[in-house]
Structure 1
């Protein structure tokens, strides 16, 4: 564990026609602009995972699939996460749920924030994601970024003449700053707690 928080921004859609790369790159740039984090974009397209097929979660026994083990090793490098997700049928994407299921210990006692996009700003997906995070022993920020309604259609290509996401500063800039600030607090708190637990176990 490093002293400088390492934050992984997980892009939770892998569709060829996905819109998610735009908000993912936007929040990565905003997070890096803080100057006090190391930030990486983690694109699930770069981590093809089979559907979960282990005997049990790696809470109970080591995973056998090499792709799952590699995914766990990737997650272990980070102190906190930002999930960028659309909403599919009132929930997160299947590929994101599978990625969450393919690890357990590597999520534990880490914080996360959410950037959601879609007609209702992925509000229902965000609430489902928070419930999953609790089961993974994670801490969610209260604030989240929801790119929805007219804002969403103004920056999405199917709107006809999409504007850059930066054009939504008045609508979503404040919530982004609040989410990042809360994520910083929770990430540093959980880092300190993990260091203390590791020292006690040594």
Structure 2
């Protein structure tokens, strides 16, 4: 590996439902990130780091307790060089807490790459990913073409949280390789010329 500083990848776990499967998928992904020499992971679980759900009126301020919730997440997103969203599919879309986390932020996404690991039933969460691509384009982020998708997710992992199909591990490597390429390219671009929205 070169002497380049490791890329800081924020892994946003989008589901907050009781009994959610997201932590299994996220832990599997974090294992892949931990094994790499070019990336370090910052897991942002929206259960552990909830965000306010009520926006203040224009020009208004958040109450101190809700401002503290935002302050626990915003600097971490700002510091990230890249993102991976771990998302299920709810009603042909992605979870409301994930949209809330996206909407509380703006410039934190600008000029940075986003990858997706989705899970669900027959569709494997792919319809959620397609909608997230549109949302993140509006926020000036670059979405990575390759995704990892788990169809019938509960049957895709063993009791230790390892993917049963080796193709999933190969897909994760390809996705993270692409994420690293885009993260370096966009990092260089932002250093050469500040991003303007």
Query: Shorter-chain TM-score: what band?
Result: 0.7 to 0.9
Q: Is the 8 A contact 1:145 1:175 kept in 2?
A: yes
For 1:31, the equivalent position in structure 2 comes to: 33
Partner Cα separation in structure 2 for residue 18 and residue 118 of structure 1: 11
Partner Cα separation in structure 1 for residue 103 and residue 150 of structure 2: 26
Q: Deviations over 1:164-197 (max 9, x none)?
A: 4424242312221111111001111111111112
Asked whether 1:171 is paired with 2:167, we answer yes
Higher helix share goes to which structure?
1
Superposed CA RMSD: 2.4
User: Are residues 186 and 63 of structure 1, via their aligned partners in 2, closer, same or farther at CA, if it must alter by over 3 Å?
Assistant: farther
TM superposition shift of 1:46: 1.9
Asked whether 1:196 is paired with 2:192, we answer yes
Secondary structure of 2:162's aligned partner: helix
Query: What are the residue-to-residue correspondences of 1:45-124 with 2, within 5 Å?
Result: 45-55=47-57, 64=62, 66=67, 67-119=69-121, 120-124=123-127
TM-score, normalisation: structure 1: 0.84
Give aligned pairs, total. Answer: 188
Query: What are the residue-to-residue correspondences of 1:130-145 with 2, within 5 Å?
Result: 130-145=133-148
- Runs of at least 5 residues in structure 2 that lack an aligned partner in the other structure: none
User: Are residues 138 and 52 of structure 1, via their aligned partners in 2, closer, same or farther at CA, if it must alter by over 3 Å?
Assistant: farther
- Runs of at least 5 residues in structure 1 that lack an aligned partner in the other structure: 157-161
Q: Is the 8 A contact 1:155 1:164 kept in 2?
A: no
User: Are residues 16 and 6 of structure 1, via their aligned partners in 2, closer, same or farther at CA, if it must alter by over 3 Å?
Assistant: same
> 1:146 is matched with which residue: 146, 149, 161?
149
